[in-house]
Structure 1
Amino acid sequence: MSELFSIQLQNRQQQGGDGVWLDLPTTTEQVQVALRQIGISSDNPQGLFISGYFAEEEKRFAISYNMVLASNVDELNFLASRLETLSTGERTELNAALQAPQSELFSIGRITDFPENVDYYVHLPDVHGPAQLGDYYLNRSGMVNMPEEWKGGIDTAQFGRYVAQQEQGAFTQYGYLVKSGDEWQKVHEGQPVPEEYRVLSFPAPEVLRDSANIPPPVQPETEPQKVIPIILNGKDSAERMKEITDRLETGIQELFDSDRYKAYLTTMAKFHNYSFNNTLLIAMQGG
């Protein structure tokens, strides 16, 4: 894939910036590289606009500059891909059609359909004026049947003007153009750009891309808390029961002395009009 023409992309928030040139046809990856260069991401897609159009002389199409600037990246990428299929002669015919007065190629979508409509026109690339057109019809087209000695007395320029007027042809920088009578085939005009030619995808913001590359912190492994069994030293049931009661009282006392119990009391003080059950529920929920 070689470039057919280039468009200049700019960021509205970078006043006075040079922008970046993007060759078309292109790929999503190349578009994202260009967008990053001008500070465009998914955070500020509205800042993107097309500010320029350029093509080498031998590849140049006579497309309206303002028409290109009013289009979008996907439409122009599809257009470049379609025009890439044209032969040299068909490209010259397209340029003649674009330059013709009251050209019917009035939109990017219409131009995109030109490869399906190369027979819509008759194009004479070496005819640029009435005299050449008159000579063509008189001596080369095979449509004028008269003795050769009579042809010498015909004013070819006047004859050419008459022919052009009758068939409503147009003289352009790229030759003479006239409609063939075939019906224009509307294929892509007015339709969404096919998926395979949609290349405009806004890159993630730099901060998000950087954070996405940072591995999550490694959490230290915590060992489960060991359960210490209660060892009773009493010799009989009565001694063991007393030992359990003493330990329970000690645990309760430790609870009363703890910060958790103090927080509970604070909660109760705030909600003294509540029932005990409601206060306990609030305390369990964190106050």
Structure 2
Amino acid sequence: MANLRDTVKDYQEELRDGIAWVAFWKTGRSWNAEYFHLEMGDILYPEDRSRMEEIKQADPAAVVVNGYYSGYLGEDRNLDELTAGVRRHYENGYSNIGEFIEAHDDRLPPELIEEARAAAHAAGLPFSEKAYRGGEEPDPYLFDGSMSMEDYELMHRMIEKERSERMEETILSGYLSNLGKYTEGRPAGEWVSFPTTAEHLKEVFDRIGIDGKNYGELHITEYQSSIPGLAGKLTELESLDELNYLGELLKMQFDDDREKFAAAITYGDHTRDLQDIINLAQNLDCYWIYPSVKTEEDYGHYLIEELDELELPEEAKNYFLYEEYGRDAAINDGGRFTEQGYIYNNRNTFTQWYDGRDVPEEYRVTPQPPVQEKEQADLDAAAAIPTTATEQPPVLPIILSSEKPANKMKEITDRLEQGILGIYESDRYADYLRTMSKFHDYSLNNTILIAMQGGNLVKGYKQWEKEFDRHVKPGEKAIKIIAPAPFTVKKQVEKIDPDTQKPVFDKNGKAVTEEKEIQIPAFRVVSVFDVSQTEGKELPDLGIKELTGDVEQYQDFFAALEKTSPFAMGFEALSGSIKGRCNYEEKCILINEGMDELQNIKTAIHEIAHATLHDIDKDAPERPDRRTREVQALYSAFQNVNHFKEC
């Protein structure tokens, strides 16, 4: 049994400072106490009102007192004086709990409440006294007594129904097109919504004719998404499995996460490719978002009034520059104002859940095409086809079996490596180099890829139409080459003074940083078509003459070569079929006597290349082997001779 003095002792701080209201009541001969706080406007919280009703029922004489507002109490009273003050209130009926409830209860008259409740139920809606009284939405995850249990359950059923309808919305869809039929002028495609199933995708493939044999390539010509900005981040070469992976992740998001994801897409620091976006969907805890903040002024008010970043006197608030304060804070955050609110990166660890290699098994939906024959078999078959000196060899495109862009890049670079090895390990230098000499605008890798596939002069599908008034023939398969696909990322770097070229420091000695966009080099596989695969307006003759005949201004040309040569040059009768020799020990170049002028020029360039590139200690590790040296010299000769012949 607790006496009044011991009970008051437990609540003496509250009774002295007046920060809470304390109820005292008796059950039998034992004293009890409990403290309460009022809402803004001195209104009882619904749950506190319910608790006070229980206390009133247990002891109608219960009192509710406050050290600041109630007499006989306060900060200057000791424990005995506080005990006496509470007893006086209780025995004289001061501060009765019933009167306190009535004075701090803003509930509407019962008849009005019931009328509003009936109207809500007639419309099939839940009713909340809290929302009806002050326009404040009830917390769906907290039962606070402002709703009946039936209304609370109805609210949750409606929330679940709305969420289900949102889940059924098309989060992401793409138009899948048969690339082969597109090039034939017979477009075939269909919209697919993600996430999807392997069975549905197989049906789509069958309808648009993707069979892995006659037609194995598809591209996605258009995207649609209920998430603003997402469609614009995706390319026509995306992996269907990765799109399905992303679709499943977005489907599982709650509304708040969906809004944050949309804002993060606009923010843009992890959106360079689909792999990045998949990881972004699983790292939303790396961002803070304030949905109500849409402008710099909004942000200033939010920081001052909601987060209490600065303690401003009330009279100063009318003169405070909220917009400027919000602008400075946003710059420091590196944040961005979006349709969904203000968002910034909170610098939590961004975890790479998906490495871009293997999509988890449960998200894979792409039908697997039949295994294609390897490109080397195609090249061997092409080598067996007899052709005349002027006949254009057949175009034999590389058939890529991979679906993902990253895997396509690996597959084509593997084929490229095989092609380069084929050059080094065979005697077909001239065939490859003759092709290379025509491609002044292509990298060495693409030149080899084009040559491997029998190409001569290649352009993109649209380029042939727009620039040359030619069209790709029906049924032609594209040649695969590698194209640059750089992307930019935002990065915080030290700010450099443009005058001193040294880092800038703030008043505290910390290095000042600024956000810069940095371009990251990357590549992707693209489709092009050879001139022999097109028809239309005639092109100028691209043929190369035989390596025979005289050279205009031969004496001047040869004299110029002699000046550029690091070794002395001369003519001498060489044995056998040797046309030239580079002597590294004597620092001289010898050219076989009796050859025609054009062959002399070609041999001179070849041997000058040796002298320039390979005058290195024979035992030096960086010196190429003999076969490599010959390819390098032969490449230089073909490039230069064929170039000058076309001039």
1:126-166 deviation digits (Å, cap 9, x = unpaired): 21211111111111123222322222210111111111112
| Deviation for aligned residue 1:118 | 1.6
Q: Which one-letter code corresponds to 2:296 in the other structure?
A: P
Partner amino acid for 1:112? I
Asked if the contact 2:177–2:188 (Cα under 8 Å) also holds between the matched residues in 1, the reply is yes
Matches within 5 A, 1:1-287: 2=168, 3-15=170-182, 17=187, 19-44=189-214, 46-55=216-225, 59-65=226-232, 67-100=234-267, 103-202=269-368
Q: Is the 8 A contact 1:83 1:112 kept in 2?
A: no
Q: CA RMSD in A?
A: 2.1
Q: Which residues of structure 2 form unaligned runs of 5+?
A: 1-166, 371-647
Could you tell me how far apart the structure 1 residues matched to 2:191 and 2:253 are? 24
The separation in 1 between residues aligned to 2:343 and 2:297, in whole angstroms, is 15
Larger mean CA deviation between 22-31 and 45-54 belongs to: 45-54
- Cα displacement (A) at 1:18: 5.3
Shift of 1:32: 0.8
Structure 1 runs (4+) deviating above 4 angstroms are: none
* Deviation (angstroms), 1:106: 1.8
- For the residue of structure 2 that corresponds to 1:192, the secondary structure is coil
Per the TM alignment, residue 64 of structure 1 is displaced from its structure 2 partner at its CA by 4.6
Q: Say if 1:179 and 1:195 are closer, same or farther in 2 by CA, change over 3 A.
A: same
Measure, in 2, the Cα distance between the counterparts of 1:63 and 1:32. 25
Q: Distance in 1 between matches of 2:361 and 2:270?
A: 27
Q: What's the counterpart of residue 225 of structure 1? A: none
**SS of 1:14's equivalent?**
helix
Residue 48 (structure 1) shift = 1.3
SS in 1 for 2:234: helix
Q: Do the aligned residues in 1 keep the contact of 2:178 with 2:215 (CA within 8 Å)?
A: no
Sort the Cα spacing of 1:61 and 1:72 in 2 relative to 1 into closer, same or farther, 3 A. Answer: farther
Q: Is the 8 A contact 2:270 2:277 kept in 1?
A: no
Give the AA of the match of 1:111: I
Deviation at residue 105 of structure 1 after TM alignment: 2.3
Cα separation, 2, equivalents of 1:45 and 1:14: 8
Paired AA for residue 256 in structure 2: G
Corresponding residue number in structure 1 for 2:619: none
Shift of 1:25: 0.6
Answer yes or no: is the 8 Å Cα contact 2:233–2:273 preserved in 1. Answer: no
Q: Give the letter for the 1:51 counterpart.
A: T
Write the letter of the residue equivalent to 1:82.
Answer: L
Please give the alpha-carbon distance, in whole angstroms, between the structure 2 residues aligned to 1:66 and 1:166. Answer: 27
Distance in 2, matches of 1:32 and 1:123, equals: 40
Aligned amino acid, residue 90 of structure 1? D
Query: Quick check: 2:224–2:231 contact (8 Å CA) kept in 1?
Result: no
Whole-angstrom CA distance in 1 between matches of 2:224 and 2:254: 20
> Over residues 204-245 of structure 1, what are the superposed CA-to-partner deviations in whole Å (9 max), with x where a residue is unaligned?
8xxxxxxxxxxxxxxxxxxxxxxxxxxxxxxxxxxxxxxxxx
Unmatched runs of 5 consecutive residues or more in structure 1: 205-287
Provide the C-alpha distance between the structure 1 equivalents of 2:281 and 2:352, rounded to a whole number of angstroms.
11
Alpha carbons 1:32, 1:202 under 8 Å: kept: no
Q: Distance in 1 between matches of 2:266 and 2:272?
A: 11
Deviation at residue 185 of structure 1 after TM alignment = 1.2
Cα gap change, 1:139/1:52 in structure 2, threshold over 3 Å: closer, same or farther?
Answer: same
SS of 2:353's equivalent? coil
Identity percentage over the alignment?
28
The one-letter code sitting in structure 1 at the alignment partner of 2:220 is: I
Q: Which amino acid aligns with 2:292?
A: D
What is the CA distance between 1:203 and its match in structure 2?
6.9
Between the aligned partners of 1:44 and 1:135, the Cα distance in structure 2 is 64
Secondary structure of the equivalent of 1:13?
A: helix
Structure 2 CA distance for partners of 1:10 and 1:193, relative to 1, 3 Å: same
Aligned residue for 2:249, secondary structure, equals: helix
Output the CA distance in 2 between the equivalents of 1:120 and 1:31. Answer: 34
**Deviations 1:56-88, CA, capped at 9 Å, x for gaps:** xxx324225352423111110011001111111
Task: Report the CA distance between 1:47 and its aligned residue.
Answer: 2.3
Number of residue pairs aligned between Structure 1 and Structure 2: 200
Distance in 1 separating the partners of 2:215 and 2:310: 61
Larger RCO, structures 1/2 (Cα 8 Å, 6+ apart): 1
Indicate the SS of the match to 1:178: strand
- Alpha-carbon shift at residue 17 of structure 1 (Å): 2.1
Q: Following the alignment from structure 1 to structure 2, what is the Cα–Cα distance between the partners of residues 8 and 27?
A: 16
> 1:42 is aligned with what amino acid?
G
Contact 1:41 1:202 in 2 (8 A): no
User: Which amino acid letter does the alignment assign opposite residue 253 of structure 2?
Assistant: L
Kindly indicate which of the two structures has a greater share of residues assigned to strand: 2
Tell me, in whole angstroms, the C-alpha distance in 2 between the residues paired with 1:85 and 1:191. 23
Q: Is the 8 A contact 1:50 1:72 kept in 2?
A: no
Pick closer, same or farther for the CA change 1:181–1:8 going to 2, 3 Å.
same
Change (3 A) 1:123 1:115: same
TM-score by length of 2: 0.29
Cα distance, 1:116 vs structure 2: 2.9
* Separation of aligned partners in 1, 2:285 and 2:295: 22
Q: Provide the C-alpha distance between the structure 1 equivalents of 2:272 and 2:334, rounded to a whole number of angstroms.
A: 18
The AA in structure 1 aligned to 2:173 is S
- The 2-side partners of 1:202 and 1:143 are apart by 58
